[in-house]
Structure 1
């Protein structure tokens, strides 16, 4: 009886370990898919126009540009106000300067918007990566729950089996004590 009980326990433990190994293998496969997407994102292929728009947006939104442009406008105004009227190429009210400023603003705005759209696309990719990381964490938690459920189920099964063995032993003892008393 003890040999049968030991064989039953060892086969149950082997079955239990196989279930645990299966859960771990499935979790590793799922996590490998997520990690592959995180570690090897699609390479971004930039066109020449996108590279230029990034450079223009980077320079147009910098203090260097603002300081350079303020100095240039100040020189423009000072020269045209102080120059002799025949040498001033844009006398007051500076119509040529207003035209140039309008053209620069008209060209710079869409270029900056193109760059911002690309940055928005990068942010979208970053949020997708965050989603994948959260998904990986959720899969890990799910795997832990499966392992815990399996462990608890196995413990309960072992307790019931042990209880059945103890009840059987108690019955045997009862029968032996009855036979001794008779």
Structure 2
């Protein structure tokens, strides 16, 4: 445990890092939540309600409390939850454009398969494909009726369609797998954002409680000063209202 300098009576100094109220905001120990104070006391057994702590150290132990809370609720922290806790400590933003980041790492073949799958599932492809079938059958049944290159029942056409389906099916499946990976990445990102929002709301409640407690302490001090002033005014007026006894006449 690091050595801390001796604190003079009445001096508002963080007993953990040694910073004074002129360099950072100092919080009385009595305003620290009991759960957070318990974590501080584990590291500093001599922690008492007469101590002071700076906001930097207080936020650090608040993050430790959040980590402990998550471990109690979910067991060991996952890498995602650890990343969220670290972002709280460093005030780092987690929001990002997941789709752009995912697509920036795609290869040329993956982009090509996505475009083929997108085209194969469109009305444009259906109309073009239906037109090709009609033209194929029209040529072999009307134009080249005497010597067609693919007579009825269009065995060559069936072979072409089978080959097209055999090639198109795995391409569509590859595209669907990438879409599922993108959806999982987006779901993970949403989970991190929601978890961080929940933890920040908890910390916001703690900060609001701290502000209210601090304001209440100030109001109590102001009220005590007002009571002292009222008491002084009352004493002063009581002295003014004391009747002056007339001097006894000379005999």
Calculate the TM-score normalised by the size of structure 1: 0.67
Equivalent residue, structure 1, for 2:142: 82
Deviations 1:48-89 (A, max 9, x none): 221221121121112221111110000111111113444311
Equivalent residue, structure 1, for 2:66: none
Equivalent residue, structure 1, for 2:96: 38
Aligned 1:152-171 pairs, distance under 5 A: 152-154=212-214
Separation in 2, partners of 1:61, 1:38: 29
Post-superposition, which runs of at least 4 consecutive aligned residues in structure 1 deviate over 2 A?
A: 17-29, 31-34, 36-44, 83-87, 148-166
Change in Cα spacing, 1:43 to 1:115, as seen in structure 2 (3 Å) is closer
Equivalent residue, structure 2, for 1:105: 165
| Alignment RMSD (CA, Å) | 4.0
Task: Note if contact 2:87-2:93 (Cα within 8 Å) is conserved in structure 1.
Answer: no
Change in Cα spacing, 1:62 to 1:24, as seen in structure 2 (3 Å) is same
Equivalences, count:
163
Change in Cα spacing, 1:98 to 1:29, as seen in structure 2 (3 Å) is closer
Calculate the TM-score normalised by the size of structure 2: 0.50
Q: Which has the higher contact order (CA 8 A, sep 6+)?
A: 1
- The answer to whether 1:61 aligns with 2:69 is no
- Structure 1 SS opposite 2:106: coil
Aligned 1:16-35 pairs, distance under 5 A: 17-19=25-27, 21-22=55-56, 30=88, 34-35=92-93
Deviates more, 1:26-35 or 1:97-106: 26-35
